[in-house]
């Protein structure tokens, strides 16, 4: 079966189950999302489904042999919504969704304008009556703007059945599926007001003879529908800003590529690039796909993907990332990953999945929303019965409508997902890739973080930290010709010998030594050989040379040097790796190597301590070396001599012993099991595929300080979510009783149905606006 691509290129397979994520158009509240989710779950072949109202995204796990993506779309369409699923390999689903949303936004704006004008005329006509006796005295008699009931009926009908058509469609769909939503509340409340008013127009005299009031509520029905739609319009515009992270990532993609085919350079769409193509990139151009440089060099701006502002120098053999910008030189590279396999596509997919995922805290709001609408319907009926018994029909009728309108659960449905969307997007813009909402939520609870040493706290590559020579080096063996012009101490001669020999070695330490001694002279090397586990041996100008550890020196009975032995003891106490140099059987030099601390490590540890997090380091190094590195990083707690295979077990033991939430930060390759075992795994962005699968958070920018930023982002996001939930729950807890008339016996305060509609719309907009504050939060 062909891999079905859906926005945003999100398709994953696991055994007999395929997972798709696709947009849903037409949802109005959290109840809509629950209805679609239930419909998808009962579709044969679907094992799980989740629909997120905030991101308007559905994620479905299904058996491809039983159900097709198109059948999933049909199931959604059957209940009145639209699922955008496409089988193409491009971004067509993205384009379709954006086109649908733009169309819906235009339709909504048109309805708000027409509804607003009709409602204004209806309100203008009834203004004297609304203001009561005092108000009637302010206007001339006859009132020039008074319209006949038939005209009011016509204007109100336009608002009720054309402007408010979607409320009826959603209500009918809900009734067919035995569920109710916010649309049900609006439809019931406004229909009751409209129907009673129609009865007054058609059979007013009959109603008077029956002792019924003949007040018309066209204004109430029209105002509520118009205000609710206005709220949706404002909400849609605000929500569109929460998806900026995805749009910005998609804008990074190059549109064309300069491919070398048949010895000629041809410009083709990126979709036509195949793995194995050789591509030319000129200065200022975007790199179209992932690959490896085969010819040339350049400086590349990777900030759009990694968040790192400083351009990265690239030479032959270095990897390049699609979507990044070539700043200087031209080069050729071999395409290795195309389409949905590129790093940018993986990032887009993960950001979209994370924005659509549910945080544990959202379960409370989802649970409440599921029971909320039926409870409101019962409260509305109870309100009518109570006030009809204690007061009058108009009084009871108005309060019932106010309850139906005020109780919209939209704010509760938006409280968590909008904050998650903005938080995940903010992280992506800073080079912090968050895998799912749960990781973002749990991160704020972290009390202890364990850092892997190599590649995380340290650079991961050895570096020569010092080169030391014996005293009077130039006079030890004068007949060997150590005297060279300008080399008063003979150090250049020895350095040249060491560099020339180590250049022949493939050992990781050899590269560091050659890099340090790059300015030393070159000498011809003969009889080179590696002594496994000890070092190397060779001859330079016929002089026998040994370079290696202490055991190599002892085995070959090298004449020791007192001052170098003393220095070696000092360096070993600092955790350095030592390489002795023996020339013609005499120890003449000593090199100290270490995996040096990253410049930002100490700042990261300090930042974590400031926000109340304990910091540990775990390493396979001996205790002396581990303690030295920990001291340099100002880390107080160390787990030393831990083999790679033992890290996972150590993290599990650590979680039990501390009793709190534990995060583990590693390089995402050999630390994958430990990343998965921790409550929150933070990968350093190397070994992208493994990091994505194992870690909850991946630092694409490879900046260790982003660990602090990720935790601050989590704390800010959770703070916003709590504020949103407090407002959403508080709004309903406070205003539903007010709408029911609880304040009327004491202070004579009632909630007008029109004001209830305005308050309901304002609550949803306020939640989205509050979530957008995360875009400027300090992390």
Instruction: State the virtual CA torsion across 522, 525, 531, 536 in degrees, nearest 10.
Output: -20
Only one residue has tokens 């935790």, namely: 711
In 33-94, at which residue ranges do the beta strands (DSSP E only) sit? 46-52, 57-62, 82-83
Angle of helix 218-240 relative to helix 92-125, nearest 10 degrees, comes to 150
What lies within 8 Å, CB to CB, of 390 at 6+ separation is: none
Distance CA 65, CA 67 (A): 6
DSSP state letter for 271: G
Distance CA 519, CA 62 (A): 63
Distance CA 665, CA 456 (A): 7
Q: Are 562 and 468 in contact, with CB atoms under 8 Å apart? A: no
Strand order in 298-301's β-sheet?
312-314, 298-301, 325-326
Burial class (CB in 10 A: 0-12, 13-18, 19+), 280: middle
Q: Hey, which residues are catalytic here?
A: 452
Compute φ and ψ for 28, nearest 5 degrees: -115, -20
Q: Is the dihedral of CA 730, 732, 735, 737 positive or negative?
A: negative
Q: Alpha helix (H) ranges present in 635-748? A: 647-658, 672-677, 688-694, 706-740, 744-747
* Strands 614-618 and 57-62, bridge-based pairing: unpaired
Q: Phi-psi bin for 80: left (phi > 0), alpha (psi -120 to 50), beta?
A: left
Distance CA 498, CA 520 (A): 9
DSSP state letter for 241: G
Distance CA 259, CA 272 (A): 10
């Amino acid at each position: 079966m062909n891999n079905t691509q859906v926005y945003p290129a999100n398709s994953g397979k696991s055994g007999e189950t395929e997972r798709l994520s696709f947009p849903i158009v037409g949802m109005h509240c959290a109840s809509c999302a629950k209805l679609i989710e239930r419909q998808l779950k009962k579709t044969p072949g679907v094992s799980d489904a989740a629909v997120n109202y905030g991101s308007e995204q559905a994620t479905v796990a299904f058996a491809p042999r039983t159900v097709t993506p198109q059948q999933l779309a049909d199931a959604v369409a059957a209940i009145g919504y639209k699922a955008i699923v496409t089988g193409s390999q491009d971004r067509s689903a993205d384009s379709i969704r954006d086109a649908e949303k733009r169309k819906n936004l235009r339709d909504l704006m048109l309805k708000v304008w027409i509804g607003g004008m009709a409602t204004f005329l209806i309100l203008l006509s009834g203004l004297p009556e609304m203001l009561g006796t005092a108000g009637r005295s302010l206007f001339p008699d006859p009132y020039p703007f008074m319209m006949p009931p038939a005209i009011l009926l016509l204007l109100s009908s336009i608002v009720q059945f054309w402007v408010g058509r979607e409320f009826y469609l959603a209500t009918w769909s809900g009734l067919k599926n035995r569920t109710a939503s916010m649309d049900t509340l609006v439809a019931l409340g406004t229909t009751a007001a409209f129907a009673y008013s129609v009865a007054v127009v058609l059979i007013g005299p009959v109603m008077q003879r029956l002792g019924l009031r003949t007040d018309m509520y066209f204004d109430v029905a029209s105002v509520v529908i118009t205000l609710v739609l206005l709220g949706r319009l404002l909400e849609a515009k605000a929500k569109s800003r929460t998806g900026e992270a995805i749009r910005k990532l998609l804008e990074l993609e190059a549109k064309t590529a300069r491919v070398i085919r048949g010895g000629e350079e041809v410009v083709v769409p990126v979709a036509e690039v195949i793995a194995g193509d050789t591509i030319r990139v000129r200065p200022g151009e975007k790199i179209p796909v992932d690959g490896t440089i085969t010819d040339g060099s350049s400086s590349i701006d990777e900030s759009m993907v990694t968040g790192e502002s400083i351009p990265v120098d690239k030479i032959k053999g270095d990897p390049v990332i699609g979507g990044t910008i070539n700043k200087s030189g031209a080069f050729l590279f071999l395409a290795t990953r195309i389409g949905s396999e590129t790093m940018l596509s993986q990032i887009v997919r993960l950001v979209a999945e994370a924005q659509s995922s549910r945080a544990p805290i959202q379960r409370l709001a989802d649970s409440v929303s599921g029971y909320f609408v039926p409870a409101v319907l019962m409260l509305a009926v109870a309100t009518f019965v109570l006030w009809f018994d204690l007061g009058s029909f108009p009084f009871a009728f108005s309060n019932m409508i106010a309850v139906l309108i005020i109780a919209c659960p939209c704010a509760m449905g938006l409280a968590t997902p909008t904050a998650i969307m903005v938080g995940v997007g903010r992280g992506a813009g800073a080079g912090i890739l968050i895998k799912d909402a749960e990781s973002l939520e749990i991160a704020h609870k972290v009390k202890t973080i364990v850092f892997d040493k190599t590649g995380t706290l340290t650079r991961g590559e050895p570096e020569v930290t010092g080169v030391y020579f014996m005293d009077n080096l130039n006079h030890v063996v004068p007949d060997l010709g150590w005297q060279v012009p300008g080399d008063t101490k003979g150090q250049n001669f020895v350095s040249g010998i060491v560099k020339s020999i180590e250049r022949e070695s493939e050992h990781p330490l050899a590269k560091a030594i050659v890099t340090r001694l790059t300015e030393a002279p070159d000498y011809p090397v003969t009889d080179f050989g590696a002594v496994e586990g000890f070092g190397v041996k060779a001859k330079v100008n016929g002089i026998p040379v040994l370079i290696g550890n202490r055991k190599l020196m002892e085995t070959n009975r090298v004449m020791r040097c007192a001052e170098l032995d003393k220095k070696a003891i000092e360096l070993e106490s600092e955790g350095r790796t030592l390489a002795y140099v023996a020339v013609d059987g005499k120890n003449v030099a000593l090199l100290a190597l270490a995996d040096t601390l990253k410049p930002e490590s100490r700042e990261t540890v300090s930042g974590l301590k400031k926000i109340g997090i304990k910091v540990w380091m775990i390493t396979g190094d001996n205790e002396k070396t581990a303690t030295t590195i920990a001291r340099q990083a100002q880390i107080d707690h160390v787990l030393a001599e831990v083999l790679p295979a033992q890290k996972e077990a150590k993290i599990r033991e650590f979680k039990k012993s501390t009793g709190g939430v534990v995060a583990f930060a590693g390089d995402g390759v050999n630390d994958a099991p430990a990343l998965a075992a921790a409550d929150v795994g933070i990968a350093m962005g190397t070994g992208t595929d493994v990091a994505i699968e194992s870690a909850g958070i991946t630092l694409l920018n490879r900046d260790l300080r982003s660990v602090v930023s990720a935790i601050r982002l989590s704390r800010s996001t959770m703070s916003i979510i709590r504020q949103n939930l407090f407002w959403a729950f508080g709004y309903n807890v406070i205003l539903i009783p007010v709408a029911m008339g609880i304040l009327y016996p004491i202070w004579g305060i009632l909630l007008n149905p029109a004001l209830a509609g305005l308050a309901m719309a304002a609550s949803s907009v306020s939640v989205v606006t509050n979530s957008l504050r995360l875009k400027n939060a300090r992390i």
